[in-house]
Amino acid sequence: MFKATRLTLAAAVLGASTFAAGAQDFQPEAPECIAPANPGGGWDFTCRQVGKTLQDLGLINKTMQVVNLAGGGGGVAFAEVVNKRATSDDLITAASSATATRLAQGAYPGNTVDQVRWVGSIGADYGVIAVAKNSDIKDLPQLLDMIKEDPRSISVAGGSAVGGWDHLKVLIAADAYGIEDVRKVKYIAFDGGGEAVTQLLAGSVQAFTGDLSEAKGFVESGDIRVIAVLAPERLEGEFADYPTAKEQGVDAIGANWRGFYAPGGMSDEAYNGWVKKVGEMYASDEWKTTMEANGIAPLDLQGAEFDAFVKENVAEIQEISRKIGIIK
């Protein structure tokens, strides 16, 4: 049912960066980034790593304040920006394929993709499926066989809401493996990947679905073991030992873009300024090092290009969600 689409493979695309005039002089007075989940997940990583790099490069002259605002798969943060922070020039909010998924499925009541301004991407995370280090589950086919035999015997935890991007990644893998009714896969949602991994380590669930940047620290600490990366081929460097789903006979690919949106009423000067800053940071050697260290794939889109990309992504996820019965 689900083949790798142009947008799920967009992590391999390098886009051209364009910046509007008037952006050069903008400096946020009190730079702030909302991470729409608890500490430890991908949105938190996005805010903190980007904030640090922007300051290290001199692109902002004050420390970025990171505010964790969990709830509703990002819906609490989205509503906060739209309803209470609509004209803030100092604010950006971390977003990802999970954000696009919830918008596509109408999961942010009364809110739409057009109510905010889409700033830019900072790369893409490939999805992973992992188990606890001491788990008896050795590979992805074994996990999917267990789900196929008794769907209720396996609980898979993720940091997105039910029907969100973490959930969809498991469903895409299950569908690719021939599980007829993927809606029977038992998925448990938590507010962020960090919390989901904590439940995996506690033995409350049998598997974790998330992104490589979320899983990296837990792999390094010896707590979890990645049984599949949802990439078209093995990643390079320190991630080369992680097997892909595809090489295990499961043709499933899932790339989670990461980036930012800004309040819909942000001034053009501020918006163009943030677009320029994110673009310059992305092009820096410092960010390339961060991407390599965290298994983040290239995705370089800013301003109007990123806006068009997100809106097309939302439309595509709507189509996928209808196919699996999440929306009508």
Residue 9 has pLDDT above 50, yes or no: no
What pLDDT is stored for residue 253 in this prediction? 87
Instruction: Give me the helices (H) in the chain, please.
Output: 42-56, 75-83, 97-104, 140-149, 165-176, 193-201, 212-220, 268-283, 285-294, 303-323
What pLDDT is stored for residue 111 in this prediction? 95
pLDDT tier at 8, thresholds 50, 70, 90: very low
Percent of the chain with pLDDT strictly greater than 90: 70
Question: Domains of the chain (ranges plus CATH)?
Answer: 10-125+255-323 (3.40.190.150), 126-248 (3.40.190.10)
Give pLDDT tens digits for 71-125: 998 999 999 999 999 999 999 999 999 899 999 999 999 999 999 999 999 999 8
**HEC-encoded secondary structure of 183-201:** HHCEEEECCCHHHHHHHHH
How many CA atoms, within 13 angstroms, populate the side-chain half-sphere of residue 42?
Answer: 38
Output the furthest CA–CA distance in the chain (Å, rounded). 61
pLDDT tier at 323, thresholds 50, 70, 90: confident
Dihedrals phi, psi of 3, to nearest 5 degrees: -100, 160
Give pLDDT tens digits for 257-295: 999 999 999 999 999 999 999 999 999 999 999 998 888
Model's pTM, two decimal places?
Answer: 0.76
Tell me the two tokens of residue 189. Answer: 């949602």
What pLDDT is stored for residue 23 in this prediction? 57
What pLDDT is stored for residue 308 in this prediction? 95
Name the nearest CA neighbour of 231 among 7, 6, 11. 11
What pLDDT is stored for residue 192 in this prediction? 86
What pLDDT is stored for residue 24 in this prediction? 65
What pLDDT is stored for residue 191 in this prediction? 87
Give pLDDT tens digits for 294-315: 888 889 999 999 999 999 989 9
What pLDDT is stored for residue 267 in this prediction? 97
pLDDT tier at 317, thresholds 50, 70, 90: confident
What pLDDT is stored for residue 136 in this prediction? 96
Residue 60 has pLDDT above 50, yes or no: yes
